[in-house]
Structure 1
Amino acid sequence: MNINRSYPPLRFRTQVLLLVGTLVAATLLVQGTYLHHRQGQIITEQIGLRAMNVAQTVAQIPAIVEAFDTPEPAAIIQPLAEQIRIETGARYVVVGNSAGIRYSHPLPERLGLPMVGGDNERALLGGEAYISEAEGSLGEAIRGKAPIFNAAGDIVGLVSVGFMLEKVDYDIDNYLALGWILVGLMVLLGLAGAAWLAQHLKRVILGLEPHEIARLVMEKDAILQSIHEGIVAINREGRITLLNQAARRFLDLPPDGDALGLPVQELVPNSRLREVLSSGERQFDQEMWIGEHPVVVNRVPIIHEGRVEGAVATFRSRQEIRDLSLALNAVNRDMDALRVQAHEFSNKLYTISGLLQLDKPQQALALINQETAREQAQLATVLEQVADPLVGGILLGKLADAAEKGVQLDIVEHSALHTPLSPSGQEVLLSVLGNLLNNAVDAALQGTDSVPRVRLFFTDLGAQLLFEVEDNGPGVDPGLLAQIFQDGFTTKQGKHRGIGLALVRRLCLEHDGDVSLEDGDLGGACFIVTLAKNRVARQEEKAG
């Protein structure tokens, strides 16, 4: 029966320890083996040279050379050779004649016997001094050979000085023992370094395994490329390290363009990511423009072990937020209108109930007819003057809101807006009228008149739509005229201010119009807005 077993992969720390430790140990062992071999060769060569030098020196001693002419050369040569052997530490110093017969030997009983090894020809026949390795009567040895010349220059014998290979190997091992000890210590040190490196790398990668990192990278890339918010990340040097597809669309970059590594100022000069790098503080819901796109930006630092390593900016289209804001405004407007109507009708109902309890039904009926006529008149006025239902809806909501706040909001009698609006034109008018009327009601409440008033006039005669919104508030300081339409500028207290007038001006310019400020007839400010009719009208209206 076959059983398939799957073994868990080695942990990253174990892999690093094994790989680095094995590499360090193998490198040191190979290097130690080579050095051991090379140093052994050098020591062997030095011992061979030493043996040859001793042989050459012995071959030139006059007493030894002259002894070859005596009847008993061994009697003279043996004592001299033994003395030299002891002083030099050689295993033997053998002197032989031209026939290879020994005249000296460490063992006296071997005097007169032929020299063993078969390596004498080069000295006896060629007169050459050399080094050889051969096995003699005492064993295998490194031998130095030198010929002996008489006064006439003839070769009369040779000298053989030997050091036993066994002793040489023993000396080499003793000499290199310290080197192998150091190699062993270096191997242990390398293994310790591998263990530290494995631990350090594990900490750097946040304790994750390689397959976990690979999965997280793939998941992160899929998530970042799929979301519709633009993302830009930079490193400590301010260079781009991440740019998803949504950000490329905002920046009008090709999907496969190489923007990584570029300074962030080149692509987004007003990104303010360098401020986050220097301060390490988060910035949320900041408004800015990227090219022609108004966006809302969040900026956060990337902090690792208390140090800012980079920063990330996420931005989304303000148009989406605007759409959501319009939807919320519509809901709030309906709620405000219902609340006002509920409040007003409750008062009227209490009044009618009281009249009925006082048995005055005629007066109760007159009050009902009066209120019905007023509401119908207001609704009829808006329906008659405004053809678009959304614009009419916001005007009714603003009328109810102003009445609840105690502000008299009047729509000029000859106002008219009969142009059919496109969906984008409806959004523009809702945003423009909503912001201007809100500001006018707030300004009227700050005025000194007993009755706060706001007046609205609009017309679509000609090629443009014209809107005038004026109030009887304190007006605008002439010194602030150049700043009131700047993004973020406000004279009101609280957060998230300074957006309305800047947005109104932006929308006007985008639709071939403009916004200006004049002194109103009511004593306060008068904002005049123009919009190109062909930019906000429906297609059939444009065609007509």
Structure 2
Amino acid sequence: MHILCLPVLAAAHRLLNWAVSIQSGGNRVSQKNLFLFKPLAFRTQVLLLVGTLVVATLLVQGAYLNHRQGQIITEQMGLRAMMVAQTVALMPELIQAFDTPDPARVIQPLAEQVRIATGARYVVVGNQEGIRYAHPLPERLGLPMVGGDNERALLGGEAYFSQAEGSLGEAIRGKAPVVNAQGEIIGLVSVGFMLEKVDVDIDNYLALSWGLIGLMLLLGLCGAWWLAHHFKKVILGLEPHEIARLVMEKDAILHSIHEGIVAVNQEGHITLLNQAARRLLDLPDESSTLGRPVQELVPNSKMREVLSSGERQFNQEMWIGEHPVVVNRVPIVHEGKIEGAVATFRSRQEILELSLALKTVNKDMDALRVQAHEFSNKLYTISGLLQLNKPQQALSLIRQETDREQARLATVLEHIADPLVGGILLGKMAYAEQKGVRLELVEDSALHTRLSGRGQDVLISVLGNLLNNAVDAALQGGQHQSRIRLFFTDLGEQLLFEVEDNGPGVDPALMAHIFQDGFSTKPGRHRGIGLALVRQLCLENGGDISLEDGDLGGACFIVTLAKTRMALNEDKAP
């Protein structure tokens, strides 16, 4: 039966492949023949495939089972005929009649009684030579039996059934030998059921079977339609090529965004994570993490809480290893049921750096506005002197401003070799001057180490934060002259920076909290970022930051950085 189904399955598979190839390769079909090869919808493909398999399977199985049932009915009719023949052959009256002068007179009535009682078409009894002693038609008594299949009973003494054409037509016939008391074969009995009647009986039996098969075909086609409709609903009405495109787009988007993304199923097992998440979690590849519980990779994850409560969590702070991150967690809900959850996270340091950079830009903009205002005043003064025909005084004012800027530039160039660090220091000098704060460089300060790109970024961030805080502190000191003193050196294995001001200093009670993220002595929002970031940068680059009482009466911040992490690798230098 299964062998008969294989060609049908192969044909159905070829049909589906043809439909998919038409759908996916439709753009290769010429416009002239496009109407001949319209893409098949996914619902139609499923309906065709499942419907074809159901119809073919039921038809093949039905044909085989009905054919087998017909064989069984035929065989049962033959066994029935053989058993009737054996019963008649064992009748004592019939055996004794063979010894009488006219056996037909006794045997014919007996045979007719059995024929009528069993519903057989005929019961024929013959002697050893095949001469009839009983027949449904009396006029054929004494004539030889026809069919040519009596040898097995007369010669071998075997009881059997066969299909052959006799004097009344084609029939299923049971044969049995007649044996006397001495064990000798003295004749045979032939009982026949006409094949036409057998076929009618078979048709009556098979009519119900084919009716049930037709009902199953109808149910199978309805099931195929429902299955196609259900599949279409499950995949949100999309076609296979649309699903493939969406999957590729999703992968491209997930692996291109900067935020880490982790998705879990109902059991809390990881089903998806992008490259940013693998990089932040320090994972080798995606295959080794999919299917694992999220608690194994992120022990302090709160994804279980989201799965159980269904509540969204936004802007939650947590640590992943040694990295502070900001996390958003949302459940995946389908038809009111939580199917999983998704967490997105980004390094908090990047957010702090971005916030600090934005704050620095705003301060630089204010400083530029002040500089533009001051220079416009000086330009107006020079213009007025020229209008008053006082060129010497105008030149003297220009030389005064030039000498001051040149002196400041020469001081920076003398002490600092790196141009970017020198640039940030010049900018902070101008900023402090505009605020009315005097920024002094200690005479023996020196920074001759060639810095790497990473080292330049770290120093710009560290010096920018510390000098900004020192300017604010110096202005709060209430001194006649607000001052900041900066010392730096690269002697030894570390870079050392000291930033000192004459402000009010730091309350000893707050010393333990001054470097904590979010803590600040200044009022307002978005404070407490600079010193926490400076400390983190110092720790990441083999150094530290400390706070002491300064000689000027205010705070003195001391920063150390490992020279090996800050300096430019000479082998890679251009």
- 1:82 and 2:91 are equivalent in the alignment: no
Cα deviations by residue, 1:103-130 (Å, 9 ceiling, x for unpaired):
2222333333322211111111211111
Residue by residue, what CA displacement relative to the aligned partner does 1:218-276 show, whole Å, maximum 9, x if unpaired? 45445555x3737554441555555556666666666x885353637599547947368
**2:33 corresponds to 1:5:** yes
One of 334, 349, 354 as aligned partner of 1:305: 334
Report whether the alignment pairs 1:97 with 2:133: no
Aligned partner of residue 155 in structure 2, secondary structure: helix
Q: Would you say 1:167 and 2:197 are equivalent positions?
A: yes
- The answer to whether the 8 A contact 2:487-2:498 is kept is yes
Cα offsets for 1:187-221 (capped at 9, x unmatched)? 22222222222222222333222223334444544
Q: Is 1:458 matched with 2:487?
A: yes
Query: TM-score, normalized by length of structure 2?
Result: 0.74
Q: CA shift at 1:14, angstroms? A: 0.8
Q: Which amino acid aligns with 1:384?
A: T
The alpha-carbon deviation at position 66 of structure 1 amounts to 1.8
Tell me the amino acid that sits aligned with residue 333 of structure 1.
K
Confirm or deny that 1:281 pairs with 2:299: no
Q: 1:334 to 1:488 in 2, by over 3 A?
A: closer
Shift of 1:54: 1.0
2:71 is equivalent to residue 41 of structure 1: yes
Relative to structure 1, the CA distance from residue 30 to residue 537 in structure 2 (aligned partners, 3 Å threshold; closer, same or farther) is closer
Q: Which residue of 2 aligns with 1:22?
A: 52
Q: Is the 8 A contact 2:473 2:501 kept in 1?
A: no
Matches of 1:209 and 1:450 in 2, distance apart? 76
1:144: how far off?
Answer: 0.9
Gap change, CA 1:499 and 1:261, over 3 Å in 2: same
- Residue 234 of structure 1 contacts residue 264 of structure 1 at CA under 8 Å; is this kept in 2? no
How far apart, in 2, do the equivalents of 1:95 and 1:470 lie?
138
Identity %: 59
Match of residue 58 from structure 1: 88
Give the aligned residue type for 2:128: S
Decide whether aligned partners of structure 1 residues 228 and 469 sit closer, same or farther in structure 2, where only a CA change above 3 A counts: farther
Q: 2:362 is matched with which residue: 293, 316, 332?
A: 332
C-alpha distance in 2 between matches for 1:109 and 1:495:
127
Instruction: Determine the structure 1 residue equivalent to 2:411.
Output: 384
Does structure 1 residue 259 correspond to structure 2 residue 288?
yes
Equivalent residue number for residue 140 of structure 1:
170
Partner of 1:195: 225
* Correspondence list, 1:172-321, <5 A: 172-221=202-251, 227=256, 229=258, 232-236=261-265, 237-242=267-272, 258-259=287-288, 261=290, 263=292, 269=298, 272=301, 274=303, 278=307, 281=312, 283=314, 299=328, 301=330, 303=332, 305-306=334-335, 307-311=338-342, 313=344
Helix, strand or coil for the counterpart of 1:517?
Answer: strand
* Stretches of structure 2 lacking an aligned partner (at least 5 in a row): 1-29, 386-392
Distance (Å, rounded) in 2 between the aligned partners of 1:25 and 1:139: 39
- The one of 454, 463, 466 aligned to 1:436: 466
Report the CA distance between 1:491 and its aligned residue.
7.5
Summarize deviations over 1:344-379 as a string: whole Å, max 9, x none. 7899999x9xxx9xxxxxxxxx9xx99998998699
Inter-partner Cα distance in structure 1 for 2:521 and 2:202: 95
Distance between the aligned counterparts of 1:444 and 1:58, measured in 2?
134
Q: Which amino acid is the alignment partner of residue 39 of structure 1?
A: Q
Provide, for residues 293-323 of structure 1, a one-character-per-residue CA deviation record: whole Å limited to 9, x for no partner.
x68666565735253435364657966994x
Asked if the contact 1:340/1:401 (under 8 Å) is kept, the reply is no
Give the aligned residue type for 2:71.
Q
Deviation at 1:515, TM superposition (A): 0.5
Does the 8 Å CA contact 1:383/1:392 hold for their aligned counterparts? no
Q: Of 491, 498, 515, which residue of structure 2 is paired with 1:467?
A: 498
d(CA) in 1 for partners of 2:200, 2:169: 15
Residue 177 and residue 492 in structure 1: after superposition, are their counterparts in 2 closer, same or farther (change >3 A)? farther
Task: Return the letter of the residue paired with 1:117.
Answer: G
In structure 2, relative to structure 1, the CA distance for the partners of 1:106 and 1:448 (3 Å cut) is farther
Q: Secondary structure at the match of 1:8?
A: coil
**Cα distance change on mapping 1:456 and 1:280 into 2, 3 Å:** farther
Tell me how far 1:19 sits from its aligned partner: 0.9
- The letter for the 1-side match of 2:51 is G
When residues 321 and 524 of structure 1 are mapped into structure 2, their CA distance, relative to the original with a 3 A threshold, is closer
In 1, distance between residues paired with 2:480 and 2:56? Answer: 96
Q: How far 1:336 sits from its partner (Å)?
A: 0.8
Tell which deviates more after alignment, 115-124 or 326-335: 326-335
After superposition, the Cα gap between the structure-2 partners of 1:524 and 1:67, relative to the gap in structure 1 and judged at 3 Å, is farther
User: 2 CA distance for matches of 1:475 and 1:379?
Assistant: 36
Paired residues of 2:172 and 2:193 also in contact (CA < 8 A): yes
Tell me, in whole angstroms, the C-alpha distance in 1 between the residues paired with 2:234 and 2:410. Answer: 69
**Distance in 2 between residues matched to 1:259 and 1:230, nearest whole Å:** 21
Give the partner amino acid of 2:102. E
Residue 125 of structure 1 is matched in structure 2 by 155
Contact (CA 8 Å) 2:318, 2:325: kept in 1 or not? yes
* Counterpart AA for 1:281: R
TM-score (norm 1): 0.77
Q: What SS does structure 1 have at the residue aligned with 2:191?
A: strand
Task: Tell me if structure 2 keeps the 8 A contact 1:239–1:260.
Answer: no
1:59 Cα offset (Å) = 0.9
Aligned to 1:114: 144
The answer for the alignment partner of 1:360 in structure 2 is none
- 2: distance between equivalents of 1:433 and 1:489? 19
The aligned counterpart of 1:361 is none
Give the gaps of 5 or more residues in structure 1.
Answer: 357-365
Secondary structure of 1:170 counterpart: helix
Question: Could you give the per-residue CA deviations for residues 494-536 of structure 1, whole angstroms, max 9, x where no partner exists?
Answer: 8766543332122223333210133456776543212345654
- Measure how far apart 1:477 and its partner are: 6.3
- Tell me the residue number matched to 1:426: 456
- Secondary structure, aligned partner of 2:183: coil
